[in-house]
Structure 1
């Protein structure tokens, strides 16, 4: 980054980093509260979210999407399975592969915990133009990729 930037831009960049940290803290605290409410750890709650959004996956795929070590993912799946929230099944095409699937019958009321958040974000999004939403989407997509790449680098 060039050291020849305006004071306004320096302050804007600093404010962006602070806002990003504040957003990250708010997200972590929200998901910690949701997870605790349903008797899960936050990693378990986010793994369920991943499986709900992307569908059934192998442990290796979960590891790739989370950046967690394979041994950590195995323990995570064991905990979710012990709580009856997921089950393992053999891949019908490749019997060597084990697929992790959400047991949706056990998640009753889980989605309701997000109603207020979703309503608030929907209202927020409606205040932006399509062009602004495209910039926000680009930023979030690229920032997420940076975060995901950084996760497995943590010693």
Structure 2
């Protein structure tokens, strides 16, 4: 190994260490932000993020929610019960399979959460102004890979 290789390895190791540290910070502030938004509506962070899944994917079965959240089926049942009792979601008959039930959002109630994200969305757009499109594409690729790896890690924990 040459001195240049060793220097590159040390730089990569240091960059990975910094990435892990900033990832921990980002994870923490993300959880705290979503907990604060959830608390404004009498929800917990898991409930709030489940509403986000329903908003992005449309009505889902409990099995779909278990797969997407990594929660056990019994936990999903309790989660849906809570969301239903708080007026954010409801169970509806599946349109093609009468044995199945879908969980869908109450669109009017979910609109109450949107206001909490409007300022944050403006902040994101403003922060992205200092990055090139290529840099943003790299961030998108990185976050996509990391989301899949974290989903896999959550599934392993749930096993």
Compute the RMSD of aligned alpha carbons: 1.6
Q: Which runs of 5+ in 2 are unaligned?
A: 1-5
* TM-score for both structures, normalised by structure 2: 0.91
> What SS is found at the alignment partner of 1:16?
helix
Q: Which residue of 2 aligns with 1:121?
A: 124
1:63 to 62, 66, 73: 66
Q: Pick which of 136-145 and 99-108 moved more.
A: 99-108
Q: Which residue of 2 aligns with 1:89?
A: 92
Q: Report the structure number with the largest CA radius of gyration.
A: 2
Q: How big is the shift at 1:141?
A: 0.3
Q: Which runs of 5+ in 1 are unaligned?
A: none
Q: Which residue of 2 aligns with 1:132?
A: 135
Distance in 2 separating the partners of 1:92 and 1:114: 32
> What SS is found at the alignment partner of 1:87?
strand
Higher fraction of helix: 2
